[in-house]
Chain A
Amino acid sequence: DADVTQTPRNRITKTGKRIMLECSQTKGHDRMYWYRQDPGLGLRLIYYSFDVKDINKGEISDGYSVSRQAQAKFSLSLESAIPNQTALYFCATRSRDRGDDNEQFFGPGTRLTVL
């Protein structure tokens, strides 16, 4: 089973609709992140969380909100979706420990299309 899972994998929605993307992890990591990827662009950070009580804005948080329901779950919401939020969305996790690799582990992504 995958360590980091995202649901749904694909979603088509209409402008103005509320949508939630969910992320779950079994790695036991405390740090979780949401990124979006647009064609020709790298991954850009939307929000990140140190633990259940800690939520922080990333580079492009406008139009998004998040909820850390438990250590293993981190949800991203679009309260009123707009077409320029059409993108690939990735969830990632990282342990608290400062290891040499400083690695984040990514989920498989959610392809969101806003019509």
Chain B
Amino acid sequence: EVQLVESGGGLVKPGGSLRLSCAASGFTFSSHSMNWVRQAPGKGLEWVSSITRSSSYIYYADSVKGRFSISRDNAKNSLYLQMNSLRAEDTAVYYCARGALRGGMDVWGQGTTVTVSS
């Protein structure tokens, strides 16, 4: 079964850091670009970051550029999001999703919740 499972969410104070992980299974992880997409409580979806198959190209939304870092380990079938200098407005459910920027994101994880609050 094709599956993505996120972990690493939690409660963190403003200015703090958190590292999210996404474990992939059921498909050849190294053959696909991957993304992080977030959804603030009661709000819509917001694309956060993308990474190509071999990590050659990495892209970020302006809202997280310079604070978040996406990476992947194809040997471990895992995607990561290092989040630094967290702000209240980063509070959201974070989803990892498979797909290239120009195509659709066809596989999504169940999400992990990040809450930034003092």
Partners in one complex: no
